[in-house]
Each structure stands twice: as structure tokens, then as C-alpha cells.
Structure 1
Amino acid sequence: RAPRGRALPWRRRTSGCCSRCDCTATCTPSSSRRPPASSNGPAGTGLCPERDFKVECGGFSERPVYSLKYVPDTSLLVTSGPPDSSLQVWQVSAEDSDVIKSVSTIATENGTGQSWAKIATISARAPWVLHGSRLDRVQITEVESRKNVYTAASQGSEELSSLAFLDCNLLLLCCATGRLCLADTRQPQGLVEAVPAPSAPCSEHWCMGTRHAAQGSEPSSQPVARLSSRGLLALTDLRKTSEFLAVAKARVPSPGSGAEFLCVSWAPALEGYLAISGFDGTVHVYDTQSWDSSGREAEPIFIHKGHVFGGAGGSRDPPLVTVHTWHLQKPRTLLSAASDGSLHVWDWVQPCGKCG
């Protein structure tokens, strides 16, 4: 999430730091597993732009960027962020240019005064963006024409934390309360079903993570992971919502002032693995295949602590991981960003005795 006026860079990994956690942006190629304290030191002591990363292309946003999504099969990006629920559309220029250009804004009805929009993208029929900040303000807009193609009707106005396309017809919406709602674009203005929130204190904030369906399988067959601000993880099969597939408690610190950076994501190339972040400066990786419905504490199989020691922004406050995502082809490679401006691309190694 980029602060106001900051560039939107693409960075390419060119070096690593160790066999257990191979990362860039605050790590230096050495035998030590502790990243350097500064990213601006001389060669061998910190991050050197000429050696450790390269900005491929970038642009400047005049407003905070809280969410950024690539539109598949296009050269377009969609971003959202305060102070309202409008969307910004960007174009990544051709190879002979290093500029990401702002090309349009998607305004939303009654967007002024609303919180920033959560977004998801797809290009099954046309480049679409699913967006909304509350349950009664969810719609699909065609990115290039800015034409509204679908609106999901709802009598509730709950705050939304996550949105996802399950396929070109099915939409999944997660409320901050943990409630899941399914919508079908073939049923105009219809919010079809709701999955109750896990039993938890009302003050908890929830987000969700979905996994792309395997080729030939039903999109609803993929488990949905929900993560609460207390670290509770609940796995749900949308075909049978009356019970949980598994429930576990992540080993995380107590939530701080807010839960806006909660993030849970499924590994696209590893069965049963997910990662969580947003509690502190770390990213936890879990293997869910042995979980049950007991709600016992789960032991992470790997914790990335690079942001804690990196100090890329020079701030005295401990950095907070604001978002992470998995590499689509490399099974054990993740990307993560933190509140100090650091960006890491890192690998983790399966502990001995558990290698597949």
C-alpha cells in the first residue's frame, strides 16, 4: 500500500540472502540470515539499487493506494484507496517505456464519504472489476468502457473486507463481521446466499482468502479461509456451509489499533498451504492438511521476519506487513510489503522430514 504521492514500482529480484529465506529489498547476499539495518549502505552492508533491484516501470499516484489488482490478459491495473470508493485505472506502457500511466477513473454512485473500495478483477468475458465498500454497494464495471454490467442488491449495509470472483458468474463477498455472501451475475441484482460468521466476539474483524479452482473442478469446491483479528482461522467448503472443514488458532500477537491490513492467502501451487499477515512485521506460512475442527493452536511451518530487521524506511516504529501474495508458478515464493516501504520477494524451505 503506497502512501500519497509515492511511485507504483515493479521490482525484479536479482539477489538473495540465505537458503532458508531468499529475499530482496532489505537483504544482502551473504551467509548471515539477519538482514542489514539500513537499505542505503555501501556494497555488502545494505540494499544497492544497481545490484539488488531494478525498477522496471512506475508512475505516481495523487492519492493513497490501498489495493492494486492486475487485470488478466491486459496491460491494465486497477487501484483503490481513500478518501472515497472510486477506482483508478492505470496502463503499463510498452517495452520501450518505463511509465505506468493513469488512464481513467471509475466513479461510483454515492462514492463520496464512503470508505475505499475492495476490488477483484477478471477477464473471462471482458476486463471486469468487482468493487464495493459495503454490501449494498457492490457492482461489476467493465474496465475499459467504465460501463456498469452488474449490481448486487442487498438489504444490509455491512462493511466489506474482501471480494473475489469464483468464476465469471459466481462472486464471493466477505463482510468485516466474517459473514460470507454468494452472488450470481446470471441473477440480476440478486444476492443469493449467506454463510454465517464463525462464532466469535462481535468486535473481531475478518477477511478471507480464496483459491483458484483446479481445471475441470467446480469453483465452489475450493475451500475458503477466513482470518480474524484475534488470529482465528476457519476453513469452509461452500458446498456444505453448515460446518467448518477446520478451525485453528494462529500464534499471533494481540491486534493493534486496527485490522485493516489483515491478509490470508492460499498457495496456488501447493495443496493445503496458506499464509497470513497483518498482525506485526512477519508473515506466517501454515500447512492446513492436518487441521481439524477443534480450534487448537496451529504451529507455523515458516515465519518470514525480514521486515522486522530490514528498516528500509528508517522509521523507529516496528514495521507492519501491509500485504503479501504468492508467486503463481514458484510454489514456495512469496512477495510481501510493509509500512516502512520495504518490498520483499522471498522463498521458504520445507523443514527437514516434511519435504514432499
Structure 2
Amino acid sequence: MEEEEEEEWLFESLRLYNDLHVFELQDPTRVIEWTGEKRVCVAGYGNGRRNEILQLVLPPRLCAKENQGLCPERDFKVEHGGFSDRPVFSLKHVPGTSLLLTSGPPDNALQVWRMEPDETDVMKPVTSIPTKPGGEDGWAKMATTSGKPSRVLHGTRTDNVQVTDIETKQTLFMAASVNSEGISTLAFLDEATALACSTKGQLFRADTRQASNLLTTVGQQPETSAPGEQSWCAAVRRCQADASATDDPLIARLSSSGRVVLTDLRDTANTLATAQCCGPTSGLHGADFLSVSFAPLLRGCLSVSGFDGTVRIYDTRHWDPLMPEEAKPLFLHKGHLLSGARDTETPPWVTAHTWHPSRPRTLLSAASDGSLHAWDWADPPAGR
């Protein structure tokens, strides 16, 4: 990017953002996992070397309810750290505990980590949890839940999805599926119901209390409308616990061609809405970093990344289910492109992003150059 374009963006950022913080990690991360209101975990994903796992405390300015003006502590603070002998492609916190789960090549096992008490900053590996082999094994996708005992939903394909008690490593559920498809996303819908999205975009659901252990298809696989539409991932928006909340339980599926398909969990046979959000993924990264996420506190908003060096935010409330259209972003974060290092020929690529759990417009995003951004986007101008 030209220096003039960067200067223009920096000037525009005063209008576009309520807060914008730019940091540099020692190694790039493809995971940003919340472990509390003020803490996140990141981890390296490099092959052939040890990768650092860090728990970071957010800068006080980002945690303040009111603008603090000049703040002496503006950087992330390392609270816990450890080293993994394998790349970390996925990382999940076990709610209500000091445990973390990681997965990554070269096999489908999960690694269990414990963050030691406050008198030490060490993050220690505790044990590992195997995933049943199934087809061409890859690294396991996973999801955790706050229920007791602590459990993890994990697997690589639809015929080896399982639920495991983390403490005892006892298998509590093992999927029975006629088909075997690669898994891109796993989620708990509630304490007993699991959802899987295959790399082909097909949804599967299972009640882990049923003796049949059947993983059943949900709705229809999205029709392929573009040559590059080869990989899919998904996100789930659950109903809020607040009785006054009116959000419907939704699933968003994102394809590598840039298409987003919205489905109501109560009527999965019909598509709620669909839109073209990005151009197809290509080049070095392909579909490796595809990510879609619902805003937890903004009705109708979702975010998309993994196509380039940007994070796009959309308002889905006006998407038409019958007439798919090219969606215009409500906001476009392109700071990774314009504030990244210039000594590489390849522009930075967004590898992960996440919404803050209690600040409606605050997000964290990371890129392949090691940049970590924390940003709070401003309301669009009236009439936009």
C-alpha cells in the first residue's frame, strides 16, 4: 500500500473508530479465544517449531465504561504463557475452569492445558484426548460447554464426532452417521444438542442423550453456484437468556466463494436469507482462515473475514431470501492492510477475529503479519 493511502486511512480512523489499538505479536495467531471479560488467548501456528500460547489482559482503556483519555497502560499484558510442540489451529476455553483445549496438525488429538494459580504465570500441558480415526484424519474441530461435568465436542468427520468428559476422558457420545463428510464447525446448541457443519455446507444435529447416537442431516445442503464454492464454515446465534430479547436462533454459513446463507434453527428446511459478501478466496491461503461470527449484542449484525486483509461487518436485516444480492458492508476494517509491515511482498491476511462479549461494537482481529488490532467502530453517519 502507498504511504499516502495509509496516511489517509489514519486520518479517516479518527472518524471511523471510537477506539483503535494496534499491537504486534511475536508470532501470528489464528485463534483469539475469550477467557473472561478482560482476557483472551492467542497462539502461534507455525510448523516445525514450538509455538507460544499466551493469555493476554486487555488494555485498561478497552475495559473502561467511559473514555479515560490519556491512559498510561495501552498495551496487552501477558498473564500466562506456555509452549506447544505443534501448531495451534484451534483453541477453546472450558467455561468456569482454568483449562484450555488446543488442536492442530499432525493428528486429530486434543491437548489439555491448565493455567496455574496467580502466583505463577505458567500454562502447563495436562493430558491429551484422542479423537476416533475416521477417513483421512486432520486436526480436530471442537466446542466446549459450561455444563458439569466439563465436556468437549470434537471430531474431524461426521462419523467420528464425539463428546468427551475432559477430566475422565470418558466418551459420553459417539456419532452414528451413514455418510462421512469433513467437519468445518462444531457447536453446542444447548447442554444436550450438538450441531455440525460439513465442509460442503451440510448441517447435522444430534441429541447426545439419545441412545441411537444418530447424527441427522438438517435442511438442505446449499446449492453450489460458483466454481470456488468448495468450502464452508458456520456460526450459531443462540437465543439470549434475557426474556426481553427477540433474536431468533440462527445459523450463518459462509462459503469460500464469499456467499453467506442464513437459516432459522426452528425452520431449517427453508433459507431465511442469502447474500454475496466477498469475492472468492484464492492464492496462498485459500479457505484456511474463513470465519463468520454473529455480533452478540447487535441485532442483525454479523462479521466475515478470511478473504483478504479486512474484516467486514454486515446488517442482515434487509437481506432478501428470494433474491440474493451483493451485500454492502456496514463497516470495513482495513487496518491490517494499511498498518502492516512493508517488508513483505504478500499483503497481510486476516487469520481470526472475535466480538467483545459485552462491548457491542468492539472487535479483536489478527493477521498473518502478527498484527493484533482491538477496535470499536463508530455508528455510521445518519442516513447511511
**Alpha-carbon deviation of 1:263?**
0.5
Which segment drifts farther, 315-324 or 296-305?
Answer: 315-324
Alignment of 1:318-333 (within 5 A): 318-333=347-362
TM-score (norm 1): 0.84
Cα deviation, 1:110-160, whole Å, max 9, x if unaligned, reads 379610000100021321110011110100111121111111111111111
| Contact persistence 1:334–1:347 (CA under 8 A) | yes
Cα deviation, 1:312-347, whole Å, max 9, x if unaligned, reads 696432121111111111111111122222222211
In structure 2, the CA distance between the partners of 1:109 and 1:242, relative to structure 1 (3 Å rule), is: closer
In structure 2, the CA distance between the partners of 1:206 and 1:171, relative to structure 1 (3 Å rule), is: same
Match of 2:107 among 84, 89, 92: 84
CA distance in 1, matches of 2:317, 2:125: 43
Match of 2:120 among 97, 106, 110: 97
CA distance in 2, matches of 1:229, 1:122: 28
What is the match of residue 239 of structure 2?
213
In structure 2, the CA distance between the partners of 1:155 and 1:204, relative to structure 1 (3 Å rule), is: same
In structure 2, the CA distance between the partners of 1:123 and 1:205, relative to structure 1 (3 Å rule), is: same
What is the match of residue 292 of structure 1?
320
Matching of residue 9 in structure 1 with residue 54 in structure 2: yes
Matching of residue 197 in structure 1 with residue 224 in structure 2: no
Structure 2: gaps (5+ residues)? 1-29, 31-43
What is the match of residue 172 of structure 2?
149
**Alpha-carbon deviation of 1:93?**
1.6
| Contact persistence 2:197–2:234 (CA under 8 A) | yes
What is the match of residue 237 of structure 1?
264
For 1:3, the aligned partner's letter is Y
CA distance in 2, matches of 1:90, 1:139: 20
**Alpha-carbon deviation of 1:215?**
1.5
In structure 2, the CA distance between the partners of 1:313 and 1:119, relative to structure 1 (3 Å rule), is: farther
CA distance in 2, matches of 1:168, 1:313: 47
What is the match of residue 340 of structure 2?
311
**Alpha-carbon deviation of 1:306?**
1.9
In structure 2, the CA distance between the partners of 1:273 and 1:123, relative to structure 1 (3 Å rule), is: same
| Contact persistence 2:256–2:280 (CA under 8 A) | no
| Contact persistence 1:313–1:342 (CA under 8 A) | no
What is the match of residue 122 of structure 1?
145
In structure 2, the CA distance between the partners of 1:83 and 1:288, relative to structure 1 (3 Å rule), is: same
Identity %: 49
In structure 2, the CA distance between the partners of 1:111 and 1:314, relative to structure 1 (3 Å rule), is: farther
What is the match of residue 259 of structure 1?
287
Which segment drifts farther, 63-72 or 340-349?
Answer: 340-349
Count of aligned pairs between the two proteins: 326
| Contact persistence 2:218–2:268 (CA under 8 A) | no
What is the match of residue 26 of structure 2?
none
Paired residue secondary structure (1:247): strand
TM-score (norm 2): 0.79
| Contact persistence 2:310–2:333 (CA under 8 A) | yes
Root-mean-square deviation (Å) = 2.7
Paired residue secondary structure (1:123): coil
**Alpha-carbon deviation of 1:308?**
1.5
For 2:371, the aligned partner's letter is S
Which segment drifts farther, 248-257 or 113-122?
Answer: 248-257
Cα deviation, 1:67-99, whole Å, max 9, x if unaligned, reads 011111111111111111100111112112111
Matching of residue 347 in structure 1 with residue 370 in structure 2: no
CA distance in 2, matches of 1:186, 1:79: 26
Which segment drifts farther, 287-296 or 253-262?
Answer: 253-262
Structure 1: gaps (5+ residues)? 23-28, 30-49
| Contact persistence 1:177–1:206 (CA under 8 A) | yes
CA distance in 2, matches of 1:273, 1:209: 12
